[in-house]
Structure formats: C-alpha cells, structure tokens
Chains A and B, each alone.
Chain A
Amino acid sequence: MYFLPALITALLFLWIGLFVFFNNKKAPANVSFFLLCLTTFGWQFTWFLLFAFADKLSISLMIHLGYSFIIFIPITYFHFLVSFLERRSKSVYVAASYVLGVIFLALLWNTNYLIQNFYRFSWGYYPKAGAAHPLYLGFLTLLTLAGIWMLLRDLSKPNKQEQHNQIKYVFIALLFYIPAATDFFVNYGASFYPFGFLFIALSLSTIAYAIVRHNLMNIEVIIRRTAVFAGLFTFVYGVFTVISVLGQDFFRDVLGLGRWASLIPTVLIITFSLRPLENFLTEITEKYLFQKKYDYRQLLKTFTNEVLTVLDIQQLPAQTVAGLIRILKLESVAILLHDKERKLYSLAAEIGSKDSNLILPEDHTLISYLKATNQHILKDKVADKIEGDGEMKSAFKALNAQVCFPISMHDDLIGILALGMKKSGEDYTQEDIDILQTLARTEAIAIANAQLFDELSKTQAEAAQREKMAVIGTLAAGINHEICNPLGIVRGQCEMFLLNNRDGFYKNKTQEEVLRLSADIMNKVIKETDRATAITKKLSGFAKPSKRSDLEEVAIGKEVDEVLGLIGHDLKLSNIDVQQDFPSNFPIILADRKQIQEVLFNIIRNAAQAIDKKQGKIVVSGFKDNGTAVVRIADNGSGIPGDKINQIFNPFYTTKAPGKGTGLGLFIVKQVVERNKGVIMVESEVGVGTTFTLRFPTAGALSAAA
C-alpha cells in the first residue's frame, strides 16, 4: 500500500496542472506552473510505479526516470515564480538553470555521480545518493533562496489588494513545498518512508485555495454547491453500495445466514447510518468549504431583517454602517445620501472614512458613473474605466473605499454605499459583489421607506396638532365660561361701584365704609382676574405643540387636576360627576408632562362623550403595582361593542358623526403613551361602561433598570 500516497499526489498534481494550463495556454505563469506540476507528477508517479511494481520493472530505470523529474522540480518552480512575478530580467537565470538541469540529467544517466545505486527498505526501493549529489542539493537550495527572496521583495512592495494576496499564498505554498526536501535524507540512507508527499499536497492545497479565493493566475473558479453535494452523495452512496455487497458476503460467511437473511443486518446498518453520515458530511462541507457563502447568506438575512425594520431615517444609515462593519469586518463603511434640495450627496453615516465631511455634487464623476451604469465600481478598476478618474480616485480615497455600490430606486440614485478594505486583507470576490449588490438594493428600499415614513410622521404630527386644535374648538364654550365670566364679574363689580357712586348710594356712608366697600370690590376683581389668567395659562400650555423635551417627574394626580381645570366645567354641565382617587403614595413617573396631560385629556373627554345617561360618572383612580404606576379611567357610558374594541386605536376610526371627530384621538393617545414607555389597555361592556388602563414604569423602576 505504500504506493497509494504517491499515486494520489501524482494524479492531483496532474489534474491541477492541466486545469491551470487549459485555463490559459498563453500565459507564462500558467505554462510554467503546468511544467512544475508535470515534474512533480513525474516524480510521484514514477515512485508509485517503483513502490507498486518493483519486481516486474527495472528498478534502476525507474530510479533514473524519477530522478530526471526531481532534477527539474526546483528549476520549474523557479521558472514559475519568475513568470508569476513578471521578472523578465530574471529570464536569463531561468534559462541558465535549465542548462544546469540538463547537465545534471546527463550526469544522472551517464555516470554514478548523482545516483550510484539504490537502497532496499521494508516499504520499497529508493535511490542512493552519489558523490555529486550534494552539488545538486546546493543548486536546489540556491534556487529556493532566490525564489523566497523574490517573493519577499514583492510582498513588501505596495500592491493592489488582490495581487498582494496572490503573492502571499504563492509564498505560503512554497514554504509548504520546502519540507518535502526531507525525502533527500532517504537518499543518504535514512530508512523512514519518504513523507514529502504530505508537504507537496499541502502546498498544492494552498495553491488551489488561492485560485478559488484570490483568482490566482486570473482563474475564476465558481464552486457549485450542487456539484459538490452531488459528488458528496455519490461518494456516500458508493460507500454504502460497497458496504451492502461486502456486508452480504460477510454475514453469509461469518454468521452462516442465508442469502436473503444476510441482507437484513446490512440493510439495518445502512438504514441507521446513512442519514446521519449524510448529514454529517453535508454539515462539515457547509461549514468548511462554503463557510464564506454560509456567512454571507446569514449576513444577507440579518441585514435585510435589520435594515427593513428601521424606519427612522436618522438611524437607518448609522445602523447599516455599524452592521456592515460588524458582519463583514471591514475597515470602513460609508453611506452618502442624496440631498435633493441642496443638489448634492452628503455623508449620512460613516466609520473609518478619511474625510467625514465629504460632499459630492450631483455632477461628480462618481455620481455620474453610478447613475449611468447602476453598477458597482471597484477602486482597482477606476483608472481603466473612466475619464476624469482623478476626481473619482480622490472620492475613493476620502471614503477610504475599495468598492462603491449605487443605492438606487426607480432609476433614481438615492445614495451610495462605500465599502472599505476587509480587515482580513482578503479582497472582494465576485460572490461578495453579488451579495452586496443585493444588500444595496435592500438598503435602497429601506431608505425609501424610512424617508416616506419620515414624511408621514411629520404629517402625522401635524394631524395630531390639528386634532388638538379641533378639540380646543369644541372646548370654546367651556373656555368662554372660564375666561369671560370672570371678566364679566370684574366689569360688573367696577360698574356697580361707579353706578352706586353716581346714584348717590355712598353719600350717607363714611369714608371708612366706602373704602371698605371698594376694597371688597378690589378683592373680588383680583380673584376673578386670577381665575381668568389661570385658565388662559392652562389653555395655552395645552395648545402648544409638545416638543420632544427631556423626561421629567410627573405626578399623574396633579395632571388630572390640571385637565379637569380645563374641562371640569363642561363635564359639570353635562351632569358628569368626576371622582378622583389617587393614594398619597402614588408613584411619580418619568415622562413628558405635557404629553401625559394630552393623554388624560383625550381619554377623559372621550369618556364624557360616551356617556349618554342622565347621571354620568367618571372615576379616575391610580394605584401602584410593583414597579408600575397604574391609572384607570372608568366611565359608565354606552360601552364599546366587542367587534369594535380592537379598532379603537386605529387611525381614522371613529364612531362619531362626520365632522365631529377625526378618529385620530385614541390613535395618538396610544402612540403618545408608548412614547412615554407606557401601555394602554381598554375593557368595555356595552351598557355598563368603558375602562381605560394606563401603565407606566415608575421613576424608581426606571432608574433601577438604568
């Protein structure tokens, strides 16, 4: 069995060599790589023949043949490196080494200096080094050192990302190949089995990896999952075919079962191990061979989910950028968005850009290119593709980008997604590009959505304000009462004093008495003006649009008082009795005070409107439930039927007559409650009444959480 590794290694090299050669027969690097593979194949294949069929072949001939290939391995390797690194000046050395190779070849076949005889080991025959063999080793060392030196020099030079990675992997492949030289010890009498095939197999794997991942020698390999899995399943089923055939014989012979009975254990084995084995192999293949793809698919899913749910246009770009940095492990990511008013593209979010204030006018080369092509553009390709690439290059530099994707929607370039270098140093493959293109499209939809939502919420805020003003309009009677009546009293008091004076009612009074009377009037005037002022303040405070202020400590009971100050009179006129029941230890909450007022106002007013009885009753009560402040607003109104109760928080849902309500009241109430970290619930029974329950985390609970 010692021939097997040599055979496998030989065939692998032949296969890859041919693959590279036929990929591009004209490229010097491909041709010389093919030669390298061919010599390695020759070496391993001859050894395979030697180990397998030594007794039927001329051992001496095999050894000479194998060594003829070995001589040329360092030479073809050097040749490959010179072609790959495009060192035309070194071609002379390549030619010279081939000449030297021919000289060694002559020495090999005509003299005993290189190989003088062969050893016979337990695992097979192996050539014995001649007197001049160290000379060949020196030559080999020299070529290897030259190769290493060339690679190291190119690695330290600034290169394009892709090229840098290619050189890196060629270098690693060479480092793997070198330990195969341990096989030479066997030429000098060491008796171990030459395991150099392990190293050259590693080296070959590295090259294969570089071809697949980094387009080494400009070979594009697309691994088809279906092909790989088809191969995998063929293998698995092949294994089981063998098992079933062997198993049948085994059980028949060993256990003495009949022809058909012997099938049973085999079938059992296959049934219980086929699926697990298949799953296991699929899993490891997914994990190792398709790890990148697997990640990207995951990424795409996560990204899409994340991005499409963000409706805040301020946050969306920032979250996208952060997400891409995190998932793709990039050095920089930036998103520019179109500002239609200012006719430019400005940075909406970035990490790792060189110029965080970058602004691109609409006629910038990069913008025009992305608009015209609707395709991504790689930094490396900028110079080849576009005129005026200086402008483009500086934009890439400012963004610290490797590739830019258009974020476009209906032929409209709404933004640019600029991605920097991967932290791993790996470059963008076609596969990456495909996936990122999809991401860019998703981002476009998300941005368009968020922009739409932004506009909508602006109109919604306006609608809320309009609703409030409408409410205030309906309050007019009550407000009239609360403001004008005190003023009427003030006027009446003053008028009375003047008329009494004119009509001589004060003539018989002493000065002190008149003074006392007028002081009495003044006091009433002050009291009434205060009453009018207070209500005006409350009203203007309520009518003002609430700004997004910081949270403050709110005592809900006090806010209920404020609200009742505004609508209490109206409620009284409608014969609605309002009861308040807040315990003295009712907790403070952290909220926007004005918004809480708005909520209470809306709910209490709705409750009042729902009351169709002679004697209405609204009970506003509060209690503490663990870390929650609970407020109940219960009315004894008409109640809400079960099929309507789910709709009451929907926008534009109203039971009121056309023109009486916009249907936004409770919709806004719910939003405002939620904005203040609260929840709102409703219970109702037709004919009995409706209870709204508000729950807010207490200030204590909030600070404990923080």
Chain B
Amino acid sequence: MTKLLTIDDEVEFTALIESYFGVRGYQVFTANQGDAGLIIAKRERPDVCLIDLKMPGLHGDEVLKEILRFEPKTKCIMITASEGGGKTRAYLQEIGAYTCFDKPLTSLRDLEKKINEALEHGQDR
C-alpha cells in the first residue's frame, strides 16, 4: 500500500487529503507542523510527501532537506503558493523536490495525477 504523508499547518487541507486518498487505497499520514512531520516520516518512510512550503516553525524546505537526507528516494511534492514564481520552484527542485503543486488547491484530480506520476517515475528509475 502506498504511504502518503501530508505536512501542512492547515488542518482542513490535511483532513481533505486524508479522506480523499484514504478511500483510494493510500495509507495517509497527516502532520500539521514541520517537526511532527519529520518524526512521522522517519518512522513510516512514506513513498510520497506533500510538504507545505510556508509553515510556522520548521519551514517546508528544511523539512524537505531533512527527509531526503535519511530517505533520498522519497518523492516530495512541495505545496507552494500560486504566486511563488519560478525562482522558488527552481530552488526547491534543486534541493531535491520532485515537483511543486500550487495552493490554493485547484483540483484534487490533478494532485492525484501528479502523485501517480511521481510514483511511476520512481519505479522507472
């Protein structure tokens, strides 16, 4: 079963991810803070992480770096603000993010596609 970890300070968002992907056969873990997310990631070693970039406390990019440090194979999709711009995106991919996904959430289906893409890509590799 695919393990999905969503780290976001917005409770409503993690709840939505949990219920959407839960019924679709994913094992979903949620965290609303960066450091809590890291603990779960270390323990569960998820296949895919959805990491919010802007979070109080530990920022998304630091969480990303830390996760990749102990599990470089993890597919991390960074949740960024839509006005983030190319610079942020390039930086995040440079430090190892698989891709970025814009928030506010436009489509759950698109997110699902990206996750599937990441998983397949990982198998190809």
Contact = CB atoms under 8 A, between A and B. Distances in A.
A528 B83 contact: no
Contacts of A486: 12
Contact of B108 (A481, A484, A492, A528): A492
Given A485-B103, A488-B104, A573-B56, A495 B109 contact: yes
Given A496-B16, A572-B56, A573-B56, A488 B103 contact: yes
Interface in B6-36: 9-10, 12-13, 16, 19-20, 23-24
Contacts of A505: 23
Contacts of B95: none
Given A485-B103, A499-B108, A575 B57 contact: yes
A500 B23 contact: yes
Interface string A471-508: 00000110011001111110111011001100101000
A495 B107 contact: yes
Contacts of B106: 488, 491
B83 A493 contact: no
Given A492-B20, A572-B56, A575-B57, A480 B81 contact: yes
A485 B106 CA distance: 10
Interface in A619-652: none
B65 to A, nearest CB: 17
Given A476-B83, A485-B12, 10 more contacts: A480-B82, A481-B81, A485-B103, A489-B10, A495-B107, A496-B16, A500-B20, A503-B24, A572-B56, A573-B55
B5 to A, nearest CB: 18
B83 A489 contact: no
20 contacts: A477-B81, A480-B82, A484-B82, A484-B103, A485-B103, A488-B13, A488-B106, A489-B10, A489-B16, A491-B106, A492-B20, A493-B16, A495-B108, A496-B19, A499-B109, A500-B20, A503-B24, A572-B56, A573-B54, A575-B57
Interface size class of B (residues with CB under 8 A): 20 to 34
- In this complex, the interface size class of chain A, counting residues with CB under 8 Å from chain B, is 20 to 34
B39 interface: no
A522 to B, nearest CB: 14
A614 to B, nearest CB: 10
Interface in B30-87: 54-57, 81-83
B105 A488 contact: yes
Contacts, number: 62
Contacts of A485: 10, 12-13, 103-104
B74 to A, nearest CB: 24
Interface string A452-482: 0000000000000000000000001100110
A65 to B, nearest CB: 118
Contact of A528 (B12, B19, B56): B12
A524 interface: yes
A173 to B, nearest CB: 94
Given A492-B16, A496-B16, A575-B57, A477 B83 contact: yes
A579 B9 CA distance: 20
Contacts of B82: 480, 484
Contacts of B9: 572
- Of B54, B57, B105, B107, the most chain A CB neighbours within 10 A belong to B105
B21 to A, nearest CB: 10
Nearest to B111: A492
A373 B101 CA distance: 79
A409 B26 CA distance: 84
A489 B56 contact: no
B68 to A, nearest CB: 23
A492 B81 contact: no
Given A492-B20, A495-B108, A524 B81 contact: no
A501 to B, nearest CB: 11
Contacts of A503: 24
Contacts of B10: 485, 489
Contact of B83 (A480, A487, A495, A575): A480
Given A488-B103, A491-B105, A496 B20 contact: yes
B39 to A, nearest CB: 20
Contacts of A492: 13, 16, 20, 105, 108
B53 to A, nearest CB: 10
A488 B82 CA distance: 12
